[in-house]
């Protein structure tokens, strides 16, 4: 078919008209976020930390459920395992918390390998339940780890976070107290993690692997027939999500400084809320979790003082959105406006060759 | 050496035997038609050749290599391209992306390398105007074209076509026949399952007849069409 | 006068632990009224931990960072007190905590709970309550009132309380051994277990006369029913936590009669509030009047928490954390739960700085004629100033 | 007035239009055959009548009622049963259960019962407890027809009942039709085998590309007419 | 004798889990609907029984009988109005909607009944037992187990011997063709969920009399129920009972070794069964 490659002038791009503008806006926003600790109050930094870490978890879950069709209700396994590994690194091995966060991510990655082996034998709903059981097993096993407090839990050695790499420097540079400097360093780490996570997911989706992933999600059998290996594609995504989730878990618990199995493997905190964030914002888009986490944060601040009403309303909103706007708030918005901050569509442009050249293959009518 | 050779291939679904010791070989560059009543096992035969379904017994050799135990991905890479009888597009991807997936994965190349070829195939199969639309929005005819286009994008050595002419108007059918002839002329071997006999017979040089999973006829179209079995079982013409 | 003194208060107002916080509103209302009457200007920022340790840590951080409270108060179970105290310690913000035995609080916040040599005191967080040594003393004193074979079956879950109670160094085992009891501890079970046949079989074959442990209410009900079904009938069952609240005992029907437990506080305790001058009885009665519910033990401690806070703030500049911390350490105040002073009395040296102890006695639930249960104090050897209402009785 | 008739029936699959104004009529007790090439819209016609595809209310009338907008179960209750293309037996049900399920929406007490079906297709009685899908294609088709009859319909719609069946089996199945007609039921059959269709039908409609291109009684239709109507003008 | 007792207690416990799981299996088997709110619905039913017991002074068994039709209606409406809209190829919508429902029910109950743990009193039955040789068997656990068996038998009868059951299976196989038989899939699904809620009510009776319950304890038991269903094989009621028993026995045997292993052992048994048989012990021939 070599003669086909010659004359035509095709271009393939994923950019939309607005995408260059939105890329710039996003870069500006990231720069602004980086500088935020200089001019906002500590409580805002704190809230931003919460938003960013939840965003990372939501992006990871969305990557699994929205892009790979892997509905996991066991992501708390990786949050908790990453966090426990971080604690072990700091408390038992005397590592710097910063290094221990990386250890947390790696530990979650390591956990995901045997886990994947098991859960990928299961399909659909079985997969969901399988991930949940695995998370329970990990929780119950870590509850037996006496050196880290067993079921009681444990706290980071006092001062560990204050001696973390960079904290002293930030404290001196900005003239703030130790705990505040720790918060700022953690915030920057969260920002970095969020940006890298979103960037990597975006890059993945625009890569060949991302295309294969979409194909597998849409039609597994057909994907196999055009050369895509569904198991490998899904496993890859599963491992990546576990790694990022583990990093986020470790980071969250550096900030909390206290861990217990029930907290670190909490289904509501690390999976339920995350699912709500993705569903409210819009599953299967990068923008969705971003919108979702903001809405979730606002809801939480408005309603948190109403105790169980808060969760009740959150549940109702989740149900209503799933029933009436299954593509979430971002979906509603994008359907109206066609807006896309992170376009992944490959748009084909260019001219087909003049009819004379295609004569040989089309024949005359 | 034949490009594809089936030897005593069998497959059952429970008590139902859908492939019963099927053996035949296809020479490089040959175009073979497969006919038979509904449920005879034609689509299943394709699924066995592509690996979407595992054989119970027998061997399948492709291009000299035993592929009986290989998964569909490997066979695709080796050069087996197929269409599905019921079109199976990647619905949320655009038509062009459907081809990109097939191009990039089916021939182990980068997206960049296969982009132009995919675009040319779109033109060739008449899908170019729909290139940037989601495949889920296509009608049945275009879905069938997409099946063909996607199979072509994997750069196959052999192309398995499952009833892609059904439901086409006379003119469309003619166009399709021309396209398939052109593909064939480039040296791609073809196996075509089709009920639209005049279209089939204007392309293939040999017919295999399947009935209850068995090969009950194999030869040149004229003799096959005239044979008693085919007239009785398949054409339903009183003899 | 200027700005009000800001107190932050965290407790589990919703979720499984909500019973501990049921008197919060009543007590805080009373606190605000009393301080206003005394011409003091206080503001209390109340946060709900939702019985969730993650949430507890978050709201503690909010109190410190957004509300900029002068002092954090926290009550009820290690699941709530520990995350809050850990956060305060990291933030160098003064914190007073209560209503959790001191070992799970103190040891549970150590980086390596298994290694006593590594334990360190805290700078800014303080706790008042009793400890395991007290509950052990109370339980063994109660058991001593009866004739038993000195064989004890232990039911300790794998949670903050259970691990501390069953701990080989600081928990029940060493003391019981010293007193001549033999403890049969089959091992840590998970909370919300549906079957206790393993434990029952172990106790039965051992012939244990005494059962003890620290259980959550549903688990104790499961255990107690199953024990009766299996024909295991110990003479004594002294259980922490599960039968703290009258509702939980009533849930056992008639089978709650003569179950024994530790009593931290009761309507009969001979103490007065330093804040309102109310006696324990009056406080309990006020609560029942306001809510229509029977009094419960945490009421006194939540009240005392605010008493201590006011006392501390009288002695320090509220905005100066260092001064507040110093003032807490120097406290010596008679509260509605007894004396609170961080003087290290009756404590091992490592905990002396951060922990103050309040008196503990033992009680038994007695079926009232016409339904309902009364908690009767049956042993006061540990705190003779608290009057008893009867003698220890063996179960049916 | 006809028992069942369509007026300018149109039908769509999403955006794809499969029928373009089809008019057919069926009288009480009559058997009508619909023939036509692959994709002509024959199945779509039956699906529209049986309520699997919703159409405009006025486009289909049955016994004086407009039924175009009714859902499948409602259509069945009025007395129209369908033997779907490809048999569609329920794999988790045995042969007998497959038959019994036909009685679920039963309208009245008519002639058909389990025994009646077993009399019609004796071979089914022997295999009554086997899963429906374990039967041969022809036997499966018998179950599908029996299942349709169990509701005692006034109209039985049969979609390609001889598809992919050996000629002997086809003969057995078609042998049953006179008995079905004898109970007073009207029948619409779709048939690829033109000879077979002409043999059983009182009247024939020929469809192409979503339109009726020819109709008449078997006696009046020549093979050439049919061939032209079948393949269009450019037929080879 | 101790091991015999351990296994016997495990089997009885398995009855409880099977009872929790039976309703789930029904809904899962017919509609492929993963109901994450199942545990909370059990708790809801327990509160309903509790209200009937305390408000009308009914015996709990009579109260449960009164609650049966109420729960049936609730399940019917829930499926007809809400869950039917979520059914389809994608498993995510039902999963998320029932998850939201779980949160709503839990917190609605918290608002209505507070977090106090409650108990339905069954009087002397609670502690009664039957002595067989050296082993004593609690009357309530035995009743629970027998009820589980009865529920399974009843479900099997309904499923395999009645025209409703045929309609269930037919709709599950192919709802479009079932429509041609006069079967209204939405109502069949609603009826199935209604039936499942009746099973839930029976489960609630035993949950509520066995130990304390509170609004938040649903999910903890749900996971065992799911395990039982999955180990058993999709759509097999006897399989569900077997699954419940496997988990129950694994738990008691694990506990006999060391209570630390109790719950873990149940989960590990689940993993092991699935490793060997990914589709469960008694999978249906066609899926
Ligand atoms: N996955 C499967 N499980 C069970 N039976 C199957 C499966 N796939 C196909 N069959 C059965 O195998 C037989 C052969 O099917 P196949 O699709 O190969 O027929 P075909 O010759 O392609 O028919 P058509 O001309 O209608 O496409 C049919 O009876 C079909 O019902
Ligand atoms: N579910 C569907 N979605 C989209 N298009 C469809 C669908 N079913 C049928 N069609 C299309 O509608 C047209 C009419 O189809 P129909 O099945 O009615 O034809 P038919 O005459 O019954 O053909 P056959 O002889 O193959 O059964 C065809 O072009 C077909 O491709
Ligand atoms: Mg086929
Ligand atoms: Mg058809």
Can you state the angle between helices A308-324 and A273-281, rounded to 10 degrees?
Answer: 40
Taking only the tens place, the pLDDT of each residue in B35-69 is 887 678 888 999 999 999 999 999 999 999 999 99
Q: Do B132 and A345 touch (CB under 8 A)?
A: yes
Nearest to E174 among D88, D106, D147 (CB): D88
The per-residue pLDDT for A61 is 96
CA distance linking residue E68 with residue E61, whole number of Å: 11
Sign of the Cα torsion A65, A71, A76, A79 reads: negative
Please, what sign has the CA dihedral across residues B128, B133, B136, B141? negative
In three-state secondary structure terms, C190 is coil
> How far, in Å, are D7, D101, D144 from residue D49 at the CA level?
12, 21, 18
Mean pLDDT of all residues in C52-77:
92
**Residues of chain D neighbouring E178 (CB-CB closer than 8 A):** 90, 101
Cα distances from E238 to residues D55, E26, E233, E249, in angstroms, run 44, 12, 9, 16
Burial class (CB in 10 A: 0-12, 13-18, 19+), C323: middle
- Give the Cα separation of E210 and E145 in Å (integer): 13
pLDDT tens per residue, range E26-47: 998 888 888 999 999 999 999 9
pLDDT along chain D (236 residues), means of 10: 88 83 91 82 90 88 89 90 88 90 77 87 86 78 91 90 70 86 90 80 88 86 72 46
pLDDT at position C105 over 90: yes
Q: How big is the CA angle at D206 (ends D204 and D210), to the nearest 5 degrees? A: 140
Estimate to the nearest angstrom the gap between the alpha carbon of C392 and the chain centroid.
22
**Tokens representing residue D139 in the block:** 């036997």
Residues of E in contact with A312 (CB under 8 A): 103-104, 107-108, 111
Task: Give the B window 158-187 contacts with D, CB below 8 Å.
Answer: 166-167, 169-170
List CB contacts (< 8 A) between A183 and chain C: 65
* φ/ψ of residue E201, rounded to 5: -65, -40
Whether the Cβ atoms of residue E253 and residue E7 lie closer than 8 Å to each other: yes
Give the residue from C87, C113, C82 showing the smallest Cα distance to C99: C82
Give strand pairing partners of D13. Answer: D16
Give the 3-state secondary structure of residue B147: helix
pLDDT 10s digits, E94-112: 888 998 999 899 989 988 8
Q: What is the pLDDT of residue E69?
A: 97
For C79-120, give the DSSP string.
Answer: HHHHHHHHHHHHHT--EEEESS-HHHHHGGGSS-TT-GGG--
Per-residue pLDDT, B168: 67
H or E stretch at A217: helix A208-218
* C-alpha torsion sign, points D39, D41, D44, D46: negative
Looking at the complex, does the CB of residue C101 fall below 8 Å from at least one CB of chain A? no
- As a whole number of angstroms, the distance between CA B137 and CA E13 comes to 53
Picking from E161, E175, E177, E233 by the largest number of D CB atoms within 10 A of its own CB, the best residue to mutate is E177
Q: Residue A357's pLDDT is what? A: 43
User: A69, A335, A348: best mutation site toward chain B, by most B Cβ within 10 Å?
Assistant: A348
DSSP at E198: H
Given its phi and psi angles, is residue A84 left (phi above 0), alpha (psi -120 to 50 degrees) or beta?
alpha
Token pair belonging to A240: 């990546």
The tokens describing C232, both together, are 């295991």
Residues of chain A numbered 249-268 and touching chain C (CB < 8 Å): 256-258, 260, 262-263, 266, 268
CB B116 within 8 A of CB A5: yes
Rounded mean pLDDT of B132-150? 87
- Checking if the pLDDT of C396 tops 80, the result is no
- By the 8 A CB rule, do B68 and B60 touch? yes
3-state secondary structure of B26: strand
Using the predicted structure, report yes or no on whether residue A171 has a pLDDT greater than 80.
Answer: yes
pTM of the model: 0.88
| Cα(A120) to centroid(ligand 4), Å | 39
Among the ranges given (A185-194, C103-112, C302-311, E73-82), the one the predictor scored with the smallest mean pLDDT:
C103-112
Both tokens assigned to D4: 């069942």
Sheet holding B80-82, edge to edge: B80-82, B158-162, B189-193, B31-35, B206-211, B214-219
Distances (CA, A) of A56 to A50, A184, B154, B181, C159: 10, 18, 36, 53, 30
Q: Cα separation of A270 and A116, whole Å?
A: 19
**Alpha-carbon distance B22 to nearest alpha carbon in chain D (angstroms):** 19
In this prediction, residue A363 has a pLDDT band, given cuts at 50, 70 and 90, of very low
Q: Does the distance separating the beta carbons of E267 and A136 come in below 8 Å?
A: yes
Q: Do chains D and A touch (3 or more CB pairs under 8 A)?
A: no
**CB neighbours (10 Å) of residue D2?**
15
**Cβ E248 vs Cβ E241: under 8 Å:** no
Residue B239 is predicted with a pLDDT of 47
The torsion region of residue C364 among left (phi > 0), alpha (psi -120 to 50) and beta comes to beta
Among candidates E216, E240, E182, E265, which has minimal Cα distance to E20? E240
Q: With 60 as the cut, is the pLDDT of residue A3 above it? A: no
Check residues D109 and C226 and name the one with the higher pLDDT.
Answer: C226
pLDDT at position D136, please? 72
pLDDT tens for each residue of D186-204 = 999 998 777 788 888 999 9
- Judged by CB atoms closer than 8 Å, whether chains meet at D106 and E182 is answered as yes
CA B72 vs CA B39, B50, B104: distances in Å:
23, 6, 16
Separation of alpha carbons C26 and C14, rounded Å? 16
What pLDDT is attached to residue D166? 62
Average pLDDT over chain C reads 92
Q: What is the dihedral of CA A16, A18, A23, A28, to 10 degrees?
A: 180
- For residues D47, D49, D50 and D53, what is the CA-based torsion angle, rounded to 10 degrees? 50
φ, ψ of residue B151 in degrees (nearest 5) = -65, -40
pLDDT tops 90 at residue A32? yes
Rounded Cα gap, residues B140 and B126, in angstroms: 14
Residue B237 has pLDDT above 60, yes or no: no
> CB-hemisphere CA count at 13 Å for A287?
19
For ligand 2, whether the C-beta of D109 sits within 6 Å is no
H-helix or E-strand spanning residue A148: none
Residues of A in contact with B132 (CB under 8 A): 345, 347-348
Ligand 1 contact, B211 CB (< 6 A): no
Strands B158-162 and B189-193, by their bridges, are: parallel
Q: Residue C139: pLDDT band by 50, 70, 90 thresholds?
A: very high
* pLDDT tops 60 at residue A88: yes
Instruction: Say if residues C217 and E119 touch (Cβ distance below 8 Å).
Output: no
The more confident residue out of A337 and C281 is: C281
As a whole number of angstroms, the distance between CA A227 and CA B154 comes to 8
Q: What is the pLDDT of residue C15?
A: 74
Chains with 3 or more CB pairs closer than 8 angstroms to B?
A, D
d(CA D57, CA D66): 6
Region C257-270: what's the mean pLDDT? 94
pLDDT of residue A337 exceeding 90, the answer is no
- List CB contacts (< 8 A) between A267 and chain E: 219
Residue for token pair 């779509």: D44
Establish if E118 touches chain D: CB-CB under 8 angstroms.
Answer: no
Q: In this structure, are residues D41 and D18 in contact, taking their beta carbons and an 8 Å threshold?
A: yes
Q: What is the pLDDT of residues A303-317, one digit of tens each?
A: 877 767 888 888 899
Among the atoms of ligand 2, which is closest to the Cα of residue D42?
Answer: 21
Query: Are C229 and E116 an interchain contact pair (Cβ–Cβ within 8 Å)?
Result: no
Sign of CA dihedral C220, C224, C230, C232: positive
Q: Of the bound ligands, which one is closest to the alpha carbon of residue B210?
A: 1
Q: Write the residue with the smallest CA distance to atom 4 of ligand 1.
A: B13
- Find the Cα–Cα–Cα–Cα dihedral A243, A249, A254, A255, rounded to 10°: 140
Instruction: Find the mean pLDDT for residues E227-235.
Output: 88
- A103, A250 in Cβ contact below 8 A? yes
Mean of the per-residue pLDDT values for chain B?
89
Closest CA to C59 of C14, C100, C98: C14
Nearest CA in chain C to A183: C91
d(CA A89, CA A156): 10
CB A107 within 8 A of CB A53: no
Is D68 a pocket residue for ligand 2 (Cβ < 6 Å)? no
For residues A82-95, give the mean pLDDT.
94
Structure-block tokens of residue D44:
């779509």
Rounded to whole angstroms, how far apart are CA atoms C305 and C265?
A: 14
Cα–Cα nearest to D160, from D137, D129, D181, D179? D137
List the beta strands (DSSP E) in B79-238: 80-82, 158-162, 189-193, 206-211, 214-219
Instruction: Tell me what percent of the residues of chain E surpass a pLDDT of 70.
Output: 98
Separation CA B150–CA A314 (nearest Å): 44
For residue C205, give both structure tokens. 């074959």
Question: A71-75, A352-356, D198-202: lowest mean pLDDT where?
Answer: A352-356
Please determine, for residue C250, whether its predicted confidence score (pLDDT) is greater than 90.
no
pLDDT band at B233, cuts 50/70/90?
low
Q: How far apart are CA A14 and CA A343, in angstroms?
A: 6
Q: What are phi and psi of A12, to 5 degrees?
A: -120, 130
CA angle D197, D74, D31 (to 5 degrees): 20
In DSSP terms, which residues pair with B7 in a beta bridge? B59
**Which secondary structure element, helix H or strand E, spans residue C72, and what is its range?**
strand C71-75
Judged by DSSP in three states, B22 sits in strand
Between CA D130 and CA D96 the distance in angstroms is: 8
Find all residues with CB under 8 Å of C306, minimum gap 6, and list them. Answer: C7, C27, C28, C31, C73, C275
**ipTM of model:** 0.86
Please report the pLDDT score of residue A350 as a whole number: 80
């Amino acid at each position: 078919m070599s003669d086909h490659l010659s004359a035509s002038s095709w271009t393939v791009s994923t950019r939309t008209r607005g995408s260059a503008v939105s890329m710039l806006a996003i870069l500006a926003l990231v720069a602004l976020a980086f500088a935020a600790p200089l001019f906002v109050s500590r409580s805002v930094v704190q809230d931003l930390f919460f938003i960013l870490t939840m965003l990372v978890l939501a992006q990871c879950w969305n990557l699994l459920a929205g892009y790979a069709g892997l509905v996991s209700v066991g992501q708390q396994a990786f949050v908790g395992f990453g966090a426990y590994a971080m604690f072990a690194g700091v408390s038992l091995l005397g590592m710097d918390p910063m290094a221990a966060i990386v250890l947390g991510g790696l530990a979650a990655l390591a956990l995901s390998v045997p886990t994947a082996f098991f859960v990928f034998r299961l399909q659909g709903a079985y997969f969901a339940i399988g991930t949940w059981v695995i998370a329970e097993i990990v929780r119950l096993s870590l509850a037996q780890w006496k050196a880290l407090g067993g079921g009681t839990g444990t706290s980071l050695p006092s001062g560990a976070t204050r001696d973390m790499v960079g904290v002293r420097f930030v404290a001196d540079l900005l003239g703030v107290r130790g705990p505040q400097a720790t918060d700022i360093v953690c915030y920057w780490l969260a920002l970095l993690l969020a940006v890298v996570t979103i960037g990597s997911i975006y890059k993945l989706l625009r890569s060949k692997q991302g295309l294969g992933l979409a194909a597998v999600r849409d039609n597994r059998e057909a994907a196999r027939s055009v050369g895509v290996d569904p198991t490998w594609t899904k496993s890859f995504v599963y491992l990546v999500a576990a790694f990022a989730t583990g990093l986020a878990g470790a980071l969250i618990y550096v900030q909390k400084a206290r861990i217990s199995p029930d907290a670190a493997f909490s289904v509501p905190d690390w999976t339920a809320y995350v699912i709500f964030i993705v569903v409210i914002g819009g599953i299967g888009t990068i923008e969705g979790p971003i919108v979702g986490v903001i809405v979730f944060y606002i809801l939480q601040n408005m309603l948190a003082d109403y105790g169980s009403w808060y969760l009740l309303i959150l549940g109702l909103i989740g149900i209503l959105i799933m029933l009436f706007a299954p593509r979430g708030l971002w979906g509603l918005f994008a359907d109206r406006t066609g807006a896309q901050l992170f376009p992944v569509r490959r748009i084909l442009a260019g001219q087909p060759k003049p009819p004379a050249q295609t004569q040989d293959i089309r024949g005359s009518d | 050496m034949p490009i594809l050779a089936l030897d005593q291939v069998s497959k059952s679904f429970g008590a139902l035997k859908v492939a019963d010791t099927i053996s035949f070989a296809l020479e490089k560059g040959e175009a073979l038609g497969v006919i038979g009543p509904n449920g005879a096992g034609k689509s299943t035969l394709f699924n066995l050749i592509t690996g979407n379904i595992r054989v119970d017994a027998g061997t399948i050799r492709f291009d000299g290599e035993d592929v009986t135990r290989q998964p569909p991905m490997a066979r695709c890479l080796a050069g087996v391209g197929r269409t599905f009888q019921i079109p199976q597009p990647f619905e949320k991807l655009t038509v062009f992306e459907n081809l990109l997936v097939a191009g990039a994965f089916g021939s182990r190349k980068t997206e960049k390398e296969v982009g132009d070829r995919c675009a040319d195939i779109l033109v060739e199969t008449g899908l170019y105007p729909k290139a940037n639309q989601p495949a889920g929005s296509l009608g049945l005819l275009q879905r069938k074209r997409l099946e063909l286009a996607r199979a072509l994008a994997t750069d196959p050595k052999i192309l398995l076509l499952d009833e892609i002419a059904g439901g086409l108007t006379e003119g469309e059918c003619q166009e399709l026949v021309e396209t398939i002839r052109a593909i064939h002329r480039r040296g791609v071997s073809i196996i075509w399952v089709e009920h639209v006999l005049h279209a089939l017979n204007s392309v293939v040089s040999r017919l295999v007849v399947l009935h209850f999973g068995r090969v009950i006829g194999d030869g040149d179209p004229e003799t096959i069409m005239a044979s008693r079995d085919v007239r009785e079982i398949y054409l339903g013409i009183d003899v | 006068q200027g700005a009000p003194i800001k107190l932050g208060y965290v407790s589990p107002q919703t979720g499984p632990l909500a019973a501990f916080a049921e008197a919060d509103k009543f007590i805080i209302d009373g606190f605000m009224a009393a301080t206003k009457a005394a011409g003091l200007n206080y503001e209390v920022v109340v946060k709900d931990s939702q019985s969730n340790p993650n949430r507890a840590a978050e709201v503690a951080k909010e109190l410190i960072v957004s509300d900029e409270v002068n002092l954090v108060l926290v009550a009820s179970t290690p699941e709530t007190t520990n995350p809050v105290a850990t956060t305060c310690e990291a933030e160098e913000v003064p914190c007073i905590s209560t209503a959790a035995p001191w070992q799970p609080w103190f040891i549970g916040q150590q980086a390596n709970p298994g290694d006593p040599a590594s334990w360190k005191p805290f700078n800014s967080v303080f706790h008042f309550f009793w400890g395991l040594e007290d509950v052990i003393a109370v339980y063994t004193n109660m058991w001593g009132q009866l004739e038993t074979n000195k064989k004890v079956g232990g039911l300790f879950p794998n949670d903050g309380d259970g691990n501390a109670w069953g701990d080989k160094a600081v928990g029940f085992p060493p003391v019981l051994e010293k007193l001549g009891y033999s403890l049969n501890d089959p091992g840590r079970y998970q909370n919300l277990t549906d079957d206790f046949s393993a434990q029952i079989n172990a106790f039965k074959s051992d012939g244990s006369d005494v059962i003890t442990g620290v259980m959550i209410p549903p688990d104790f009900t499961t255990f107690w029913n199953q024990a009766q079904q299996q024909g295991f009938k110990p003479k004594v069952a002294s259980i922490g936590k599960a039968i703290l609240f009258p509702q939980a005992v009533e849930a056992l029907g008639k089978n709650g009669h003569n179950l024994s437990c530790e009593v931290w506080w009761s309507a009969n305790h001979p103490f007065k509030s330093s804040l309102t001058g109310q006696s324990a009885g009056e406080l309990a009665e006020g609560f029942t009047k306001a809510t229509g519910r029977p009094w419960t033990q945490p009421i006194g401690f939540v009240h005392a928490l605010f008493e201590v806070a006011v006392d501390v703030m009288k002695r320090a500049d509220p905005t100066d954390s260092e001064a507040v911390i110093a003032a807490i350490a120097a406290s010596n105040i008679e509260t509605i739960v007894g004396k609170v002073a961080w003087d290290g009395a009756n404590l091992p040296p490592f905990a002396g700085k951060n922990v103050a102890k309040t008196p503990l006695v033992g009680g038994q639930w007695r079926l009232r004629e016409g339904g309902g249960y009364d908690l009767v104090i049956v042993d006061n050897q540990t705190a003779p100033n608290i009057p008893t209402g009867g003698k220890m009785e063996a179960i049916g | 007035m006809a028992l069942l008739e369509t007026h300018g029936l149109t039908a769509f699959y999403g955006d794809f239009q499969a029928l373009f104004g089809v008019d057919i009529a069926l009288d009480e007790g009559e058997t009508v055959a619909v023939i036509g090439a692959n994709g002509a819209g024959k199945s779509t016609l039956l699906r529209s009548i049986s309520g699997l595809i919703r159409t405009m209310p006025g486009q289909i009338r049955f016994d004086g009622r407009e039924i175009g907008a009714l859902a499948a179960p409602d259509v069945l209750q009025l007395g129209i049963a369908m033997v779907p293309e490809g048999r569609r037996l329920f794999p988790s049900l045995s042969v007998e259960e497959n038959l019994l399920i036909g009685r679920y929406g039963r309208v009245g007490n008519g002639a058909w019962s389990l025994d009646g079906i077993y009399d019609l297709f004796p071979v089914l009685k022997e295999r009554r407890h086997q899963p429906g899908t374990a039967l041969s294609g022809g036997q499966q088709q018998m179950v599908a027809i029996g299942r349709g009859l169990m509701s005692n319909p006034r109209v039985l719609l049969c979609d390609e009942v001889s598809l992919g069946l050996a000629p002997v089996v086809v003969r057995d199945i078609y042998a049953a039709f006179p008995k079905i007609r004898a109970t007073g039921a009207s029948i619409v059959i779709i048939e690829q085998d033109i000879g077979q269709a002409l043999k059983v039908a009182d009247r024939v409609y020929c469809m192409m590309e979503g339109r009726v291109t020819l109709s008449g009684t078997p006696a009046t239709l020549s093979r050439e007419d049919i061939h032209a109507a079948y393949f269009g003008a450019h037929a080879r | 004798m101790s091991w015999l007792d351990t296994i016997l207690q495990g089997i009885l416990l398995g009855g409880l889990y099977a009872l929790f799981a039976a309703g789930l299996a029904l809904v899962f088997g017919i509609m492929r609907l993963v109901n994450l709110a199942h545990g909370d619905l059990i708790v809801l039913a327990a509160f309903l029984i509790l209200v009937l017991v305390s408000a009308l002074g009914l015996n709990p068994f009579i109260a449960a009988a009164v609650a049966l039709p109420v729960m049936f209606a609730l399940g019917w409406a829930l499926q007809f109005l809400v869950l039917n809209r979520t059914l389809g190829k994608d498993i995510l919508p039902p999963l998320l909607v029932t998850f939201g429902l779980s949160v709503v029910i839990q917190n609605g109950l918290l608002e209505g009944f507070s977090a106090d743990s409650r108990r339905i009193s069954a009087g002397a039955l609670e502690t009664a037992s039957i002595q067989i040789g050296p082993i004593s068997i609690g009357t309530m656990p035995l009743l629970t187990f027998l009820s589980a068996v009865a529920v399974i038998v009843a479900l099997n009868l309904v499923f395999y011997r009645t025209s409703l059951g045929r309609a269930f299976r037919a709709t599950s196989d192919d709802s479009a063709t079932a429509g041609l038989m006069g079967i209204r899939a939405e109502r069949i699904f609603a009826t199935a969920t209604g039936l499942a809620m009746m099973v839930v009510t029976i489960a609630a009776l035993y949950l509520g009399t066995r130990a304390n319950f509170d609004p938040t304890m649903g999910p903890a038991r749900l996971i065992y129920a799911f395990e039982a269903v999955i180990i058993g094989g999709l759509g097999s009621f006897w399989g569900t009972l077997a699954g419940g028993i496997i988990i129950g026995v694994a738990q008691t045997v694990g506990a006999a070794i060391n209570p630390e292993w109790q719950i873990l052992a149940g989960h590990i048994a689940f993993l092991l069964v699935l490793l060997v048989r990914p589709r469960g012990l008694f999978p249906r021939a066609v899926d």
